[in-house]
Every structure is written in structure tokens, then in C-alpha cells.
A and B are shown apart, each in its own frame.
Chain A
Amino acid sequence: MSLQAPSAPGRVYARAGGPVLRLSESEAATAPPSAPERMIINMGPQHPSTHGVLRLLLELDGETVTRCKPIIGYLHTGMEKTGETLTYLQGPTNVTRMDYASPLFTELAFSMATETLLGLELPPRAVWIRMLMCELNRISSHLLFQATNGMDLGAVSMMLYGWREREEVLRLLEQITGLRMNHNYIRPGGVAADLPDGWRDDTLGLLEAIGDRLDEYDALLTGQPIWRERLQGVGVISATECLALGVTGPILRSTGYSWDLRRHMPYLDYDRLNFDVICGSYGDSFDRYAIRLNEIRESIRLVRQILAGLPAGDYRVQDKKVTPPPRGRIDESMEALIHHFKIFTEGFKVPAGEVYAAVESPRGELGCYMVSDGGPKPLRMHIRAPSFVNLQALPYMLEGRLVADAVAIISSVDPIMGEVDR
């Protein structure tokens, strides 16, 4: 069978000679260059535009990148090992720190996997609150991208605007979950608390404000010649390559390939909401910028529908096995106190089995593979992190581009290193 991607001649997923520089750290220090006038330089892990601690080995011919290798692991936290020592109720605390720009999605994938093993059916209000929170989180995550993307490309005013708007979303998230980041709000069995008083007005006010400011971003950046020069045609990748490399999310959609789990393999109640899947056409950095900008608009649309349709009822499942008793009952009843104590110290047992649950995070398919041996802690908890896989596309995007474009391309991949290294 042919290893060559049909739509992109010249790009070969080869063991040697392709755009991926397969050298270890120590080999790179001593390896002779593959051709005269070539050199290998190191970028990161402490570099202002590598989004945390990403490190790149770049093989350069003059200023042109010929091959590259992303080196990761500088933020390896052992979360999957720690996850095996935590109960299912403690698990979201752990996984929420993986993708710290969109923490609620990891919690959601973890909770969905646990609930599938338990066979739980959630009350509709819990499902809709989850959708509401995830869409708000998608807005804040994409605003973070707009800010850092602007900063990397020298549009510092965009950075300030992005932070300003993100701060307003965080204020709302703090009001609802109690924390600005790392919420631990979505838990197996529902969500941690019901929505607080006044949340509806605050959400509406937020949507109004952000909607207007998105138009300002358009005026500031989208049509601006310098911005377009820096991004258009930079970091092009094709749909075939994305599929071969396992790439999902806005990068896959930027190639014109319409694939969004919310639409095509719906989870929660997304099949009852109207929204558009935003796609690009050229697969370049500009398309990825524009997709994320317009996904904020789609999320605003979704939140408005959720506000209109939010059902009444319980915010978590009423199952004594997984749900602690309400706070008020603990003061009155000894049994409730014991019940509460047991759930939070011993956890609850989950039937043996293995399951994979996936959600569409702002970066692509975020999956949780969970194996239970019937005890209160998972035997194995693995997160399929979209950034980890998406980084494989980086050498293909960088091939033949200038070093100056590397910054724009890394930024457009939008990797979150906490999720890459876990």
C-alpha cells in the first residue's frame, strides 16, 4: 500500500527524509547535519512563544525549516498514575488540571466514562447545565487563544482585549463553580451545585458584551493586511494529512473537513440544539484563527438556546450509591452523616469493565479511556488529549517555512502543554 498521502504530493510519512526530525536530544547535540549549510537549533522549553514548555528541535537551511521535532514531557505530571490512587469522586480534581484552559471538558469526559460504567441516566437539568458550562468554557478558551495568538504575532492590543473579555467569563464561572480555573464542577452523577441566584442576568449581560466585542476583533484583525500576511498560507495542512496523523478539532476543520463530535456523534443533548460547524477552506493559520473566532459566536448562540430551554429539576442524579445527601440533612440525621462520610472517604464501587467516552473540546476530540476492576478506584484512567496528537502535525506545517512563521504556526495549533504531557 502507498504510504504517500494522495492529495499532497511530496509529503511522505516516511521513516526518514520526511519533515519529522527523529533525533534524540543527545543525538542532536552531536549529529552531523544532513546536508552542508544546515544546522539544528533548539527552541524552548523556556521560550516566550512556545505556549508553556514545548521544546522544538529545528533543522534549518538558512532561515528555512527543513525538519523539526517537538520534544515534550517538560510538564509531565504523572496524572494518570495519580488517577489510579484517587476515587471516582476525587478523579475530576485530578483531570481538571490537565487542560487548564478548558478544564470542564476533561471533567466531562471523565464523568461520562464513569457514568457509562455505572449505567447512570442523568436528569435533564444536569445535562443542560453541563452543556451551558462547557460552552462558556469554550468561549473563555478561544478568547485565551485570541489573546496568546495576538501576543505571539505582535498584536499586543489583541492580547489585552482577549484577557479583558476572558476575565468577564471567568467571573461568571467563578460565580457558578466557586473557582476561576480547575473547577471540579462536573462530577460523576451530575454537577457539584445548582446555578446560583442571578446567573441568568449575568450570563445574558456577558453574551451581549462579548458579542459586540467580537465585531471589534474583526475590525481590528480579520481584514487587516499585516495580520493576513502573517497568517494566510502559513502552516498549510491537508485533510488527508490530518486524518492520517490523527488530528482533530479546529485544525481538522480548517481544511474544510466538517467533523465536530457535537454534531456528528452527539453527546449530552447537543442533537437538540442548533449550531453551525465552522469550517475553513485552506487549512492555514488564518483559517484556524477565523474558526476559533467564529466558534465563539456559535457558542454564544448555543448558550442563548440553553438559557431558553434549561429544564427544571435536579442538578445531580438521585442515586444513593453515588450522590451524597444534601447538606441540610447531614445536620439532622446520623444516617445521612454516615452516608456522606462513606461516600467521601471510601468512594463508591464501579462495575468492572472498560469504556471510552469522548467530547469535543476546544482543541479536538478529548477522550477518556477508563478501566474498572470493580473497586472504588479506576484500574487505569487514560485521557486521549487532543493537543498531544495534534502536535504531530507541527513538522508537516513547518516544513519549508521560515523560522519567523514557526511562532505563528505553533500558536495556531494552540497546544496546552498540561494536556500534552499530563
Chain B
Amino acid sequence: MSASPPPEPALEEAAPLGPAYGGLTDLPHNFATSRLEEAVKWSRARSCWPATFGLACCAIEMMATGGPHYDIARYGMEVFRASPRQADLMIVAGRVSQKMAPVLRQIYDQMMAPKWVISMGVCASSGGMFNNYAIVQGVDQVVPVDVYAPGCPPGPETLLHAILSLHSLIRSGELTRRRQGAAGAGAGVVVEQRDGQTATRMVVSPKRGRFGRG
């Protein structure tokens, strides 16, 4: 038989191991070690889905951030979920009125933990230029806020910066630590929900009146 020797198996010819070759499948040791906590934090930071919570001018800029020029999809966040059950980030974009505050709190309560809040713009952060009877002077009186984005309205760059700050805070575990230590975050305003159907009722801390009015 003049048969030539069979070709050597391809595996024998494999190039030296390294990240540039073959991807993960060719790694003989295709696993990584980490602490579970780190892996969870990493995945949380990498899959923030915002709820659509546009209120005012800032909502337009938030939508512009989702547009092609600023392209929030670069951070895997282009899916603005309509249902709060599917979202873990609430971007409070705009001024929060006294009438809207219970709704906002209800939506926050409906979101699944862990959940984060970005207060976008000065109106949401502090009432901004509308220091009057109608506007809640800072959404942190209603929900605990993790990152404040300044501006009136903040440009898309500012919002992206706030989002990236949030990501790094989530990854470092900073936010989780804050939550554990901060029972009753906010300014003493508790919104209790009577049942799933009816409107929520405000319970206001006695010293400040209705959200600080009066």
C-alpha cells in the first residue's frame, strides 16, 4: 500500500494559546475565577434597563440620548422599558409636580430590586428655578436618588456621564452599601400604597407640611 500517512489531527497543529487565537472555545482552561459578588455587580452594571419616565424638557434630551448621534445603545441601555417591572433604572427626567409625586413613587415601588434612580436636571434634583407651590423641591423627598445630573436641561453628554458614574458606582458596590445603611432614605416622606388598584395616598411628615409647602 502506498498510502500516505494520515494527516495529523488538527489539534496537534493548534497555534500556541493566547487571546488572539480562536476565541474562548479553544482555551483549555475556559473558566475564570471570581467572587460571586463581583460577578453579580459586573452583570448588574452591564445590563441597566431604564424605565421610560419622561416628564418635561429633560425627557426630550433623554430621548435625544437614545437617538443616533449620542447612541445610548453603546452601553446596552437603548431598551427603554415601558413596564416598570422590566426596568431597574429610573431616570427622573424633569420637574416632579405635587400631582405626579404619588405616581412616581408607585412606579418606583413597582420596579424590581435592585433598582437605581438618576435625578436628571435641576428641577428633579432641587426644584430648580420653580421654587413654588406646584413642584416637589427635589425628587429625593419621594424616592432615594443615586446620581444627580445637573443642567437645565442636561445635555445628552451630561446624562451619559451620569449613567457612566452610576455604572461605576454599581460595579464598585458603593450603591449597595449605601442602601444598607440608609433606612428611610429621602426626607421623611413615606408613600403608602393601600392596594394595587386605587391611587396612592401621601403620608407627610408633620414638620414640613405638604412636601414642604406652608
Contacts and interface: CB of A to CB of B under 8 A. Distances in A.
A75 B198 CA distance: 21
A46 B107 contact: yes
Contacts of A182: 57, 152-153
Interface residues of A, number: 38
A78 B99 CA distance: 12
Given A45-B100, A46-B107, A417 B69 contact: no
B141 interface: no
Interface string B42-62: 000000000011111101110
B69 A94 contact: no
B167 interface: no
A53 interface: yes
A30 B110 CA distance: 24
A342 interface: no
B150 interface: no
Interface in B96-110: 97-100, 103, 107
B103 A167 contact: no
Interface in B31-76: 52-57, 59-61, 63-64, 66-69
Contact of A53 (B55, B130, B134, B199): B55
Interface in B131-182: 131-135, 152-153, 155
Interface in A26-75: 29, 45-48, 52-53, 73-75
Nearest to B100: A74
Given A25-B199, A160-B67, A144 B60 contact: yes
Interface in A365-422: 417-418, 421
Given A100-B56, A182-B152, A75 B133 contact: no
B82 A47 contact: yes
A29 B55 CA distance: 25
Nearest to B81: A48
Contacts of B100: 45, 53, 74-75
Interface in A65-104: 73-79, 81-82, 93-94, 97, 100-101
Contact of B68 (A25, A48, A94, A160): A160
Contacts of A192: none
A327 B20 CA distance: 60
A25 B99 CA distance: 12
B11 interface: no
A100 B59 CA distance: 10
Of listed B64, B66, B80, residue having the most chain A CB within 10 A: B64
A52 B56 contact: yes
Given A46-B53, A78-B135, A182-B153, A73 B97 contact: yes
Given A81-B133, A93-B129, A75 B55 contact: yes
Nearest to A45: B103
Contacts of B97: 73-77, 421
A53 to B, nearest CB: 6
A166 B63 CA distance: 12
Nearest to B93: A52
B130 A48 contact: no
B55 A77 contact: no
Contacts of B64: 163, 166-167, 170
A71 to B, nearest CB: 10
Interface in A300-320: none
B95 A180 contact: no
Given A75-B55, A181-B57, A164 B130 contact: no
A82 B60 contact: no
Given A47-B82, A160-B68, A78 B56 contact: no
Nearest to B153: A181
Interface in A199-244: none
B128 to A, nearest CB: 9
Contacts of A170: 64
Interface in A128-179: 144, 147-148, 159-160, 163-164, 166-167, 170
A164 B69 contact: yes
A128 B99 CA distance: 41
A144 B135 CA distance: 26
A191 to B, nearest CB: 20
Nearest to B155: A180
Contact of B134 (A77, A101, A147): A77
A48 B59 contact: no
Contact of B95 (A46, A77, A166): A77
Contact of B103 (A52, A74, A77): A74
Nearest to B197: A29
Contacts of B55: 52-53, 75
The CB with the most chain B CB atoms within 10 A, among A25, A163, A417, is that of: A163
Contacts of A81: 132-134
A143 to B, nearest CB: 11
A78 B129 contact: no
A75 B58 CA distance: 13
A217 to B, nearest CB: 15
B199 A78 contact: no
Nearest to B67: A163
22 contacts: A45-B103, A46-B52, A46-B84, A52-B59, A53-B100, A73-B97, A74-B99, A74-B103, A78-B134, A79-B130, A82-B129, A82-B130, A82-B131, A82-B132, A163-B64, A163-B66, A164-B68, A164-B69, A166-B64, A170-B64, A181-B57, A182-B153
Given A74-B97, A76-B97, 4 more contacts: A78-B133, A81-B132, A100-B153, A181-B61
Interface of B: 52-57, 59-61, 63-64, 66-69, 80, 82, 84, 94-95, 97-100, 103, 107, 129-135, 152-153, 155, 197-199
Interface of A: 25, 29, 45-48, 52-53, 73-79, 81-82, 93-94, 97, 100-101, 144, 147-148, 159-160, 163-164, 166-167, 170, 180-182, 417-418, 421
